[in-house]
Structures are given as structure tokens and as C-alpha cells.
Chains A and B, each alone.
Chain A
Amino acid sequence: MIIKVLFFARLKEQLGESSISVELVDGSDTNALKETLLARGEQWLALNDEAILMAVNQNHLSQVVTLNNGDEVAFFPPVTGG
């Protein structure tokens, strides 16, 4: 299955990517996605920062969830609007 992955703000600059597609085995969860990204190279360790937040299909993620083909997953630093 194919997952669309987005990065924002500081993370986007650190990774040099704003949007990528990742192919995962069917039934994979958000942890598996993160592991796959971490394996891409040293700068991807930025995703391991515990402050980094995730959203799945534009909803804040509060626990590990199973992903489906076509899901949109975003990684981003804590928000600073307002």
C-alpha cells in the first residue's frame, strides 16, 4: 500500500522534503511507517525527537493506528500559531 507522508516547518527543512510517498506492507501501522522512514538515513533521526507530533488523515494521533492504502500521515513540530 502507498502512504502519503508530509513534513512541516523545521522538520521539512531538516529533511529537505515536504511530501513523499512510502510503500508499506498491507496492515502496517504508524510505528512501522516511522521505522521505515528512520531507516532512510541519518537526518531522518530527527523524527525520533519526542516533541515531534503526528497526524493521520488530518487528525492528531494519540496512539498507534493501522494504516490503509492512500492514508495521509504528517509529521511536525509542536504548533506555534496565534
Chain B
Amino acid sequence: MIKVQLEDFDVGEEYQRLRERTSAGAIVFFVGLVRDMNLDQQVKGLQLEHYPGMTEVQLEKIVVEAKTRWPIQDASIVHRVGDLDVSDQIVFVGVNSAHREASFEACHFIMDYLKTKATFWKKERTLGGDVWLDARESDLKAKDKW
């Protein structure tokens, strides 16, 4: 299930949804939070923008790609947009599979791909003003290893 939403999400509910698949022997999930520091700047919060429509399509494609690479049963992505504060939840990626290895790898893959393919943009509120974040070389390298 793919969700792009303003509202916060409940990790317990997302986990439970993945758990309802009876033959799954493993669930791996990742939760991303808003950090209070980035590049030595004190961060007060984030504004997250997305491309409605395209973002959801790209996330679906990433899940389909993960399913072709690993024997996973299901995957969920919840990504928030709008104004977020420090320590708020930004993203949930969860995967279930018969055995743990596929879930670990597919979850990692989905996150790395999401960071370089899905049309989201972060603008940080810092003490020095609002700044758009630049894409990181390290994120591109992380994606290329898959």
C-alpha cells in the first residue's frame, strides 16, 4: 500500500497491516524521522513538497521492482508531506516475506530508490533561514549499489 499524506502515521497499525499476511515469516520496517541537525545547521523543522500523482506512481514502480528482485509478499510505503517538526516521522517502509533476508534487502532497496526516484523535496527551517536541501552524492551511490 502506498500513501502520501499530511497526517502522521501509526507504526503499530502499519506493522499490523503487514502482519495480516498469514504466510509471512518476517517483517522488516524502517521509519525515517526529522533530524535536529543537518550539515552543522540547527534544524527547526521541514517543509516537504511532492508532485501529486507522479510521486505515487514512482513509489508503486519501486515496489514492483522490489517484488521482481526478492520473494517478498507485500510492501507498504507511507510518506508524509507538508510541515514537519524535529523528531516527527517522515517515512515508513515495511516489507514482509517468508524469510528475513528478502525483507531486509527489499526494505533497504526501497528506501535507497525512494530517496533518488520519488518526487519529494525538502526545505529545512533553520536558524539561518529556510533552505532547500540538495540531493546527496551518497544517496545516489547508495542507489547504484543495487
User: B102 within 8 Å of A by Cβ?
Assistant: no
Whether A9 lies near B90 (C-beta < 8 A) is no
Whether B119 lies near A82 (C-beta < 8 A) is no
Per CB-CB distance, the 5 closest pairs between chain A and chain B, nearest first, are A81-B120, A78-B135, A9-B121, A58-B54, A82-B115
Kindly list 17 other residue pairs between chains A and B, CB separation below 8 angstroms, not including A59-B57, A80-B120: A9-B121, A51-B135, A55-B51, A60-B58, A76-B119, A77-B132, A77-B134, A79-B118, A80-B135, A81-B79, A81-B115, A81-B118, A81-B120, A82-B32, A82-B90, A82-B91, A82-B115
Type the 1/0 row for A64-80, where 1 means its CB is closer than 8 Å to any CB of B.
00000000001011111
Please tell me the size bucket of the interface on B: 20 to 34
Report A60 CB to chain B, min CB distance, Å.
Answer: 7
Q: Which residue numbers of A lie inside 8 Å of B, CB to CB?
A: 6, 8-10, 51, 55, 58-60, 74, 76-82
Chain A residues near B100: list those with CB within 8 A: none
Report A15 CB to chain B, min CB distance, Å.
Answer: 14
User: B84 within 8 Å of A by Cβ?
Assistant: no
Whether A9 lies near B117 (C-beta < 8 A) is no
Residues of B43-65 at the interface with A, using a CB-CB cut-off of 8 Å, are: 48-51, 53-54, 57-58
Whether A79 lies near B115 (C-beta < 8 A) is yes
User: How long is the Cα–Cα vector from A55 to B53 in the complex, in angstroms?
Assistant: 12
User: How long is the Cα–Cα vector from A25 to B120 in the complex, in angstroms?
Assistant: 32
Out of B57, B116, B123, which one reaches A9, CB within 8 Å? B123
Type the 1/0 row for B77-117, where 1 means its CB is closer than 8 Å to any CB of A.
00100000000001100000000000000000001001111
User: B133 within 8 Å of A by Cβ?
Assistant: yes
User: How long is the Cα–Cα vector from A77 to B116 in the complex, in angstroms?
Assistant: 11
Out of B50, B54, B57, which one reaches A81, CB within 8 Å? B50
Out of A10, A51, A58, A59, which one reaches B121, CB within 8 Å? A10
Out of A58, A60, A78, A82, which one reaches B53, CB within 8 Å? A58
